[in-house]
Chains A and B, each alone.
Chain A
Amino acid sequence: MAAVARQDARAYARLVERHLGWSLRFVERLVGGRADAEDLVQTAFLRVWLGASRWEPNAKFSTWFYRVLYNLCMDHFRAHTAPTEALDEAIPDGGQSSEERLAGSQRAARVRAALAALPERQRAAIVLCYYEERSQAEAAALLAVSEGALESLLSRGRAALKKHLGRELH
């Protein structure tokens, strides 16, 4: 980040390369669509570049960047009431047959729809703790709640998922 703060474009490119994967994955699961996620992540990285000179290294970059991304997602939710992308958007195939791809795509679409139906904070808690495997302390800090409240968000979120998908889960 020190090099990025000096407007070193190559250091910035390395930073993007290192953190793009997880940040895109995180945002895509929060907002429910790839195109929106790409836009938001681009905005977040541009903010890093423009604000790098004010960077104070009192936290890991990834911890700080989670917050930037999360806040952008919250702004996005305020501007859009629901995920706008089609739920049958393609997922990576990994060399599967067309039937397997279709089945995988349909399963992924159901998960995406089920998560999208959750209240934002429950969805964020599940994305942070389940998919991103953040610690309870880190996830709670990001959501600005106690660890007890985080557990409650997770419990309610997973219970709602289970209910929503009852037929598939039982």
Chain B
Amino acid sequence: MTLDRFRDCAGAYGADRRRWPADAQPLYDRFARAAEGAAILAAAERTDRFLDAWQTGAPDDALAQSIAARASGPRVRRRIAWQATAFAAAAVIGFVIGFAQARNDGGADVVTQLLLGPASMRGIGL
């Protein structure tokens, strides 16, 4: 049973102990040097060596620069500009609606009320 588990782990994780699940590593230690275990690991190692043949290259500096540059590129700047414009438009609309409501309420100095609030008008004796 335990050798079956050893075989399953070698079939899934390969011949390198580091890649095995922590709870299966004692099993690795137990069978790795036994003849049967060593044969199982040798078969797994052939697959490992095959996979190792594909080494990818490091990225070009130009790629890193290109990615960093895109962050401040026109498309991103446009998007940020749109967000700022939308925020400003919302603020203006809010002010206009508030102004109209205050005027309908019949205040004497609606601009002062909007800017300072009614309490501040009372504070200066208005």
A interface, CB within 8 angstroms of B: 7, 9, 12-13, 16-17, 20-21, 24-25, 28-29, 34, 38, 41-42, 45-46, 49-50, 91-92, 104, 107-108, 110-112, 114-115, 126, 129-131, 133, 136, 147, 151-152, 154-155, 158-159, 161-162, 165, 168-170
Determine if B56 and A16 form an interchain contact, defined as CB atoms under 8 angstroms apart: no
Total inter-chain residue pairs, C-beta < 8 Å:
106
Task: Show 6 residue pairs from A and B whose CB-CB distance is below 8 angstroms, ordered by the A residue.
Answer: A7-B80, A13-B68, A130-B19, A130-B51, A133-B19, A170-B46
Interface SS majority for chain A: helix
Assuming the contacts A129-B19, A130-B19, A169-B47, asked whether A108 and B68 have C-beta atoms less than 8 A apart, the reply is no
Q: How far is the CA of A111 from the CA of B55 in the complex (A)?
A: 10
Q: How far is the CA of A112 from the CA of B57 in the complex (A)?
A: 14
* Interface membership of B120, Cβ < 8 A: no
* Interface membership of B87, Cβ < 8 A: no
What is the CB-to-nearest-CB distance from A100 to chain B, in angstroms, rounded to a whole number? Answer: 12
Bitwise interface map of B from 40 to 65 toward A, beta carbon under 8 Å scored 1, else 0: 00001011101101111111000110
Report chain B residues within 8 Å CB of A24.
56, 59, 63
